[in-house]
A = this chain, B = another copy of it.
Amino acid sequence: MDNNSLADRVLEGDVRATARLIRLIDDGDRAARPELAKLYKHAGRAHIVGFTGSPGVGKSTLVDKITTKFREHGQKVGILAVDPTSPFSGGAILGDRIRMQKHFVDEGVFIRSMATRGKFGGLTGSTSDAAVVLDAMGKDIIILETVGVGQDEVDVAHSAHTTVLVTIPGMGDDIQAIKAGLMEIGDLFVVNKADREGTAKTVRELKFMIHMSSERYQASGWVPPVMETMALEERGIDELYTAIMDHRAHLMNNAPDEWRSRERRRLRNQVLDQLRDGVMERIIEKIGGFEALDDLIDQIIDKKKDPYGVNMELLQNIFGGNSL
């Protein structure tokens, strides 16, 4: 291990080295890999919390306020924003970003946004890698903020230890989306902007959905609480903090199997995601780069080839034999 490696500097808590390594990860640069291999054995201490929900539900404000709460309890926080509407990732209006500034000047908080993925996918992989870096750097809590609608974003939220699903009153379609697939990933449900009309109804609907799945929750021993917050007014934040810590204690003390199956799922996603990226990179190299690919594509457009024949050709080229 050379003395000035990025990994060594990250382990010493060097902010610039950390930022540089996360940037390499986000760019899909291979130079990040040996550093990550070094850091990996130092990671595993941080608690990863995913915040996910539709645009407009106030995820970023919640993340802002809960970060303040973590800091009050002496916990160091890393925030990875993969939400194009988040002020953390530079997408929001000026006022939102100004509100975040207090965290930007706090050395106990590290904030970075992740791009919406590279050439071959890999949002889950790169976010997991960045979390490893922040973990090894000494952060106690790592927050992943994602827009919870696309599959990629759900996967990211799914790779957290504690996943917080955020909605607001009256978002009927949001509830539909939760029903349709997000339900099972939530460990905590938050109804934000809880001074709005319809709060009681939304809370009731969520509780009913949880009740309907009670068998599954009984098995894990954790029934997701439904919480009301008014993030802007800092109401419900203490309760949210307590619930996150409760869930963490539950995973660590009462549910070692649950914890292991989450780790397994998280790592499986990470390994597959990175393998996919690595394989695709090599395949493109092997066929002669993206220009060569575009030549094949042009032949498809001109109906000289079809996509399925091209796919078979490429697979045979890599694996040999009849790969149809």
Please report the C-alpha to C-alpha distance between residue A221 and residue B2 in the assembled complex, in whole angstroms: 56
User: Chain A 28-40 against B: per-residue CB contact (8 Å), 1 yes, 0 no?
Assistant: 0010011011001
Please report the C-alpha to C-alpha distance between residue A37 and residue B310 in the assembled complex, in whole angstroms: 10
**Chain A at the B interface: SS class:** helix
Q: Which size bracket describes the interface of A in this complex?
A: 35 or more
A98 in the interface (beta carbon within 8 A): no
A275 in the interface (beta carbon within 8 A): yes
Chain B residues with Cβ below 8 Å from A260 are: 301
B274:A311 contact, CB within 8 angstroms = yes
B272:A37 contact, CB within 8 angstroms = no
A306 in the interface (beta carbon within 8 A): yes
* 9-residue interface stretch from A70-78, A224-232, A243-251, A262-270: A262-270
A85: contacting residue among B33, B180, B282, CB under 8 A: B180
* 9-residue interface stretch from A102-110, A144-152, A185-193, A211-219: A144-152
- A40/B306 contact (C-beta < 8 A), A55-B176, A84-B181 known: yes
Top 10 nearest A-B pairs (CB, nearest first) are A150-B150, A84-B180, A55-B173, A40-B306, A56-B173, A149-B149, A37-B308, A91-B180, A85-B176, A85-B173
- Can you report 13 residue pairs joining A to B where beta carbons are below 8 Å apart? A33-B311, A37-B306, A37-B308, A41-B303, A55-B174, A55-B176, A91-B179, A121-B151, A147-B177, A149-B150, A150-B153, A267-B307, A282-B319
Q: Give A residues with C-beta under 8 Å from B.
A: 30, 33-34, 36-37, 40-41, 44, 54-56, 84-85, 91-93, 116-117, 120-121, 123, 128, 147, 149-154, 171-174, 176-177, 179-181, 260, 263-264, 267-268, 270-272, 274-276, 278-280, 282-283, 293-294, 296-298, 300-301, 303, 306-312, 314-315, 318-319, 323-324
